[in-house]
Amino acid sequence: MQKDFILITLADDDEDDRMFFTEAFDELKINTIVNTVNDGVALMNFLQAPETILPNIIFLDLNMPLKSGIECLKEIKSNTRFNDIVIAIYSTSSSEDDIENTFVLGANIYIKKPNNFGKLKEVLSEVVTLNWQYITSGLNKDNFLLRL
Amino acid sequence: MFKSKLFDSIGFIRTTFLIAFFILIFLASITYRHIKELDKISYSIMNTYEVSLELNQLISYIKDAETGHRGYVITNDSIYLEPFIDARENINKSFQSLSSRIDLDTVKQKQLSRIYDLVDKRFYYFKNNFSSKTEFNNDFRNGRIVMDALRKEVNKMLRNENKLLSSKDRLYRYNNSNTPLIIFSTFLISILTLGYGYMRVIKNYKDLMNQNIRLKIFDESSKQAEILGKYGSWVYSIENKTFDYSDNKFRLMGCEPQSFLPNSDNLLDNIHPDDREIIINAFKDIEIAETFPLLRYRIIKKDTLEIRHFKTAAKFFTDRLGNKNMIGTTQDITEDFNKTQLIKLRNKELEQNNKELTEFNHVASHDLQEPLRKIQTFISRIEDKEKENLAETTKAYFEKIQEASNRMRILIDDLLQYSRTNRSEKKFELTDLNTIANNAISELSESIKEKNAQITFKKLHEVNGIPFQLEQLFINIISNSLKYSKPEIPAVIAITSTKTKAYEKPKLKDNSKREYIKITFKDNGLGFEQKYAKKIFLLFNRLYGKNEFPGTGVGLAICKKIVENHKGYIFAKGKPNEGAIFEIYLPV
Amino acid sequence: MINSFITFTKNPKKDTVLKLFLKTDTQFLIKKILEEKLDVFKVKYNLINNNEILFLETIDTETYNRITSVLNEYGFEIIENQKNIIVQKIKECIIEMIFNDEAPAVKSSVYLADKLNHSYGYLSNIFSEVTYTSIENFIIIQKIEYVKKLIIHHDLTLTEIAFKLNYSSVAHLSSQFKNTTGITPSAFQRILKKRVQINNQNIN
């Protein structure tokens, strides 16, 4: 189990947010490999590249230039190759409509970006732990819905 | 209606006159027959009369001959023979005229021939030379006997004729007495019939005149109405392809009334070029379809070259002669059109402004979140890592920054919530206020515990509303009461609901019987001066300084917004230090 | 768990160069190899995932050694960890406890300690160490998972589910569901229904 790394990809156009994200995982004592892309197009290119090792969890910002998080979500969900990837929406919006819509489109997790670094660490840790349970304890990923 | 009555009476008059005509023909034929008959009778009477006259003449001629003969015999003077010779001639003439008069009647003919024989016999006895006295005496005697027989025969014939005459006279009299009665009565009938017919004609004529006057009045008033209402009427003959325009129809088109003969060829002349297609399509296949759509099109006025908007409706009808026609009305709707355009434009502008405003509000509050979140996250980073290393004053400044950013967070969150009550989908459903109250209380459980508050509600009504907005409404009002509760005593908030009708509550300014659910929130908190009752619902309006009570002045504005979204009313009543009452009226 | 990218460069003749790009599904590959190798031993097993094999019968030491050596040839390393075994047992015990309609009358801690013959504190420590989560949390996760299943497949009302899973009230169930997943049970139900609708639309 020590060999197992959880592969995490974040798609967010905001540099500071990417920084908070990677720093938070650095400080968390979980075996994760985090890589980040700057927008939706880059994310889809990364996922579709043949040499890519598919991540376990993708964190998706909704509001991105070129290709929005929703578009990415739809594309990922329509490709069976990405079936095993857990999608976490990572957005500033706390609109109920947005949240429900992304869940309906197949997102597993909805995270409203916290305004406190400690809180961010807490949230990310919870996501990874719960995800771990889904991987190791034979839970039905289709029922995996989490809002933080 | 009156039309059919008129046509009925025309039929009636026609039959009346027909009857009178036939009666008169009948009358004429009867009269003719009677006159013809009378003529015949009078002729035969004349005949009879003349026969008897001629017979008498005959007798008198014989007498003359007798007298002349006697004179001669006595005197032997030939002068007496003259009448005797004349008599013979006259008698022949008489017989000729008699036989011509009675040549058809064989009985009379026989009688006449008998008379003739007797006359002949008589004349046999008229001899000039008597051989003897006895001969003379015998002759005289025989002459006497023949004469008597003749006389008898003539008398018989005369009697016969007289008898005939009197019977014919009777018939003549009889006929004469019936004829006038028949003629008079039939004449009377025909006069009566004609008279009745005349009366009817006069009556109908009067009716017609009245109708005519009324029609004229109507026509005049409709002409005025056409001018006032800016419409014109027209009739289109489908067969002839010609129009009959009312005066005002010409005026609407900017022409002198009846200044030209409208037909299908000049129909399109002043129609706006872009709208000609509409007219062409409407008149196409008109004979078969027998329908005419409601048209809206533009024309160019002939005199002023101004563009006007017209609306035309038409209906088909077939007249008594079987001609297909169309009767239509065309109205100048330019003013209405312009007004609607203006209203539409204003509405659109208003909608646009409103949309922009909510959009602005949303975008502003939403986009402000991003940098603020970063500021706060960086603050938390510094707090975690560096706070202990800061100098005391810097630390104090740092805490100020933290406070200010927290307050900004609350403000933005509230604003966002406010804008969301406008933007979110408005799905109304039957909502149980008890559930709403329960949810609100559990949502506020922490601060309720903290304030040691007691919130009571019992059997609240159901309303038609947006559940999450109603929940927000309850949360905001309850938390407002909790916030402004008296610190020394536990807060008590009572929620009640009643059903009421609009006209029972004058402050709703609605006199209808519309039903409302009135929800009342009563607390025992700090209350407020009644003069602020309206102000507290305004956005960013606060009655207390933010240091006394934290808040943004958005909470109650959201409440007002939510209530307005539900087409309801919200009122506040307050007394300083006694508490506040919030009344919400939501339509059932 | 790690995908690899292999490029073969075949060069049978000097003048023709054939280059094949291959993409492998390592997950599938691992599964296939494990199944092939394990089937030889004719033992009942269950591939929990590509990291864990659960043997459904007792295995003697000889067979165990043969299995380890065969798997080692293919680069599989057997992690012999007593802790893992205990954690696995705890998980099984919890799942059995929850999915069994006859709920145990005792507290879960007592139930587990009793069943596994270890002190609860010991079990709890090992569990947290291996799974990054606590037994209590794991129980809740599993319970909520069961609630989800019941909501989706059995058309039960929340009241019925609360009763079935021994919750003191619907409110308790609802709040635990919301605390664990961040959404209310009714929202969960609604989202899943909408997902089904979208899938049906896509199929049609």
Per-residue confidence at C123, pLDDT binned at 50, 70, 90? confident
Does residue A103 sit at the C interface (CB-CB below 8 Å)?
A: yes
**H or E stretch including B35?**
helix B2-75
pLDDT at B9: 65
Minimum mean pLDDT among B142-146, B240-244, B423-427: which range?
Answer: B423-427
**What ipTM does the predicted assembly reach?**
0.87
Closest residue in B to A23 (Cα–Cα): B381
Query: Considering chain B, what percentage of its residues have pLDDT values greater than 90?
Result: 11
pLDDT at B103: 67
pLDDT at B152: 84
pLDDT at C103: 60
pLDDT at B581: 92
CA atoms within 13 A on the CB side of B21: 6
Region B378-392: mean pLDDT is 88
In this predicted model, what pLDDT tens digit does every residue of B393-449 receive, in sequence order? 998 999 999 989 988 888 888 888 887 777 666 778 888 888 888 878 877 877 888
pLDDT at B2: 44
Neighbours of B469 (CB within 10 A): 24
Region B195-215: mean pLDDT is 87
**Residue C1: is its pLDDT beyond 70?**
no
Per-residue confidence at B342, pLDDT binned at 50, 70, 90? very high
Token duo for residue C124: 């709890």
Same domain membership, residue C88 and residue C56: no
Q: Do C131 and A51 touch (CB under 8 A)?
A: no
Mean pLDDT score across all residues of chain A: 86
What CATH architecture applies to the domain B338-423? Orthogonal Bundle (1.10)
Does residue B109 sit at the A interface (CB-CB below 8 Å)?
A: no
More confident site: C181 or C58: C181
Does residue A100 sit at the C interface (CB-CB below 8 Å)?
A: yes
Strands B462-465 and B295-300: unpaired
Does residue B370 sit at the A interface (CB-CB below 8 Å)?
A: yes
More confident site: A51 or B83: A51
Does residue A138 sit at the C interface (CB-CB below 8 Å)?
A: yes
Does residue B382 sit at the A interface (CB-CB below 8 Å)?
A: no
Name beta bridge partners: B273: none
CB B433 within 8 A of CB B557: no
Q: Do B372 and A14 touch (CB under 8 A)?
A: no
pLDDT at C122: 85
Contacts of A16 in chain B (CB under 8 A): 374, 377
Neighbours of B413 (CB within 10 A): 16
More confident site: A46 or B427: A46
Q: Do B377 and A115 touch (CB under 8 A)?
A: yes
pLDDT at B161: 76
Q: Please write down the HEC assignment for all residues of B554-575.
A: CHHHHHHHHHHHCCCEEEEEEE
CATH superfamily of B230-332: PAS domain (3.30.450.20)
pLDDT at B5: 53
Neighbouring subunits of B (3+ Cβ pairs under 8 A): A
A131-135, B528-532, C164-168: range with highest mean pLDDT: B528-532
Per-residue confidence at B3, pLDDT binned at 50, 70, 90? very low
**Residue C10: is its pLDDT beyond 60?**
no
Residue B239 DSSP SS3: coil
Q: Which of residues 114-133 of A touch C (CB under 8 A)?
A: 128-130, 132-133
Token duo for residue A36: 């980040």
Q: Do A92 and B376 touch (CB under 8 A)?
A: no
Per-residue confidence at C6, pLDDT binned at 50, 70, 90? very low
Region A95-102: mean pLDDT is 84
Query: Considering chain C, what percentage of its residues have pLDDT values greater than 70?
Result: 84
CA distance from start to end of chain A: 27
Same domain membership, residue C185 and residue C162: yes
Contacts of B425 in chain A (CB under 8 A): 97
pLDDT at C56: 67
pLDDT at C2: 40
Same domain membership, residue C94 and residue C60: no
In this predicted model, what pLDDT tens digit does every residue of B518-552 receive, in sequence order? 999 999 988 888 888 888 888 877 777 767 777 77
Q: Which of A103, A104, A133 sits opposite C141 (nearest CB)?
A: A133
In terms of Cα–Cα distance, which of B56, B87, B59 is closest to B71?
B87
CA distances from B297 to A12, B303, C132 (A): 57, 18, 78
CB B245 within 8 A of CB B232: yes
In this predicted model, what pLDDT tens digit does every residue of B253-270 receive, in sequence order? 888 888 888 888 888 888
Contacts of B366 in chain A (CB under 8 A): 92-93
Q: Do A136 and C133 touch (CB under 8 A)?
A: no
**Residue C80: is its pLDDT beyond 70?**
no
Per-residue confidence at B493, pLDDT binned at 50, 70, 90? very high
Region A123-142: mean pLDDT is 79
Burial (CB count <10 Å: 0-12, 13-18, 19+), residue B322? exposed
Same domain membership, residue C120 and residue C145: no
In terms of Cα–Cα distance, which of C31, C52, C35, C51 is closest to C43?
C35
Q: Which of B370, B384, B468 sits opposite A117 (nearest CB)?
A: B384
Q: Which of residues 185-224 of B touch A (CB under 8 A)?
A: none
In this predicted model, what pLDDT tens digit does every residue of B306-333 receive, in sequence order? 889 999 998 888 887 788 888 999 999 9
Contacts of B370 in chain A (CB under 8 A): 14, 92
Same domain membership, residue C71 and residue C11: yes
Contacts of A84 in chain C (CB under 8 A): 27
Contacts of A51 in chain C (CB under 8 A): 5
What distance in Å separates the CA atoms of residue B395 and residue B324, rounded to the nearest whole number? Answer: 99
pLDDT at A3: 43
Q: Show the domains of chain A with their CATH numbers.
A: 27-147 (3.40.50.2300)
Per-residue confidence at C17, pLDDT binned at 50, 70, 90? low
Question: What residues make up the domain containing C60?
Answer: 5-80
Q: Do B377 and A93 touch (CB under 8 A)?
A: no
pLDDT at A138: 66
Same domain membership, residue C91 and residue C60: no
Q: Do A97 and B374 touch (CB under 8 A)?
A: no
Region B28-45: mean pLDDT is 81
Q: Which of residues 17-56 of A touch B (CB under 8 A)?
A: 17, 20
CB B573 within 8 A of CB B536: no
Q: Do B369 and A92 touch (CB under 8 A)?
A: yes
Same domain membership, residue C201 and residue C166: yes
For B64, residues 6+ apart whose C-beta sits below 8 A from its C-beta are B83, B84, B86, B87
Q: Which of residues 13-52 of B touch A (CB under 8 A)?
A: none
Q: Which residues of C have a CB under 8 Å from any CB of A?
A: 1-3, 5, 21, 23, 27, 48-49, 51-52, 79, 81, 84, 91, 130-133, 138, 141-142, 145, 148-149, 152, 181-183, 187-188, 190-192, 194-195, 198
Region A25-36: mean pLDDT is 87
B67-76, B241-250, C116-125: range with highest mean pLDDT: B241-250
Query: Structurally, how many domains does chain C consist of?
Result: 3
Does residue A136 sit at the C interface (CB-CB below 8 Å)?
A: yes
What distance in Å separates the CA atoms of residue B478 and residue B341, rounded to the nearest whole number? Answer: 47
**Residue C112: is its pLDDT beyond 60?**
yes
CA triplet B328, B333, B338: central angle to 5 degrees? 160
Structural domain boundaries in chain B: 2-197, 230-332, 338-423, 425-587
Region B50-60: mean pLDDT is 82
Region C74-94: mean pLDDT is 76
Closest residue in B to A118 (Cα–Cα): B380
Gyration radius (Cα) of chain C, Å: 23
pLDDT at B98: 79
**Residue B293: is its pLDDT beyond 60?**
yes
Same domain membership, residue C144 and residue C85: no
Torsions phi, psi for C16 (to 5 deg):
-110, 125
Mean pLDDT score across all residues of chain C: 76
Q: Do A95 and B369 touch (CB under 8 A)?
A: no
What CATH architecture applies to the domain B425-587? 2-Layer Sandwich (3.30)
Q: Which candidate in A57, A121, A145, A148 is best for mutational testing of the C interface (most C CBs within 10 A)?
A: A145
**Residue C148: is its pLDDT beyond 80?**
yes
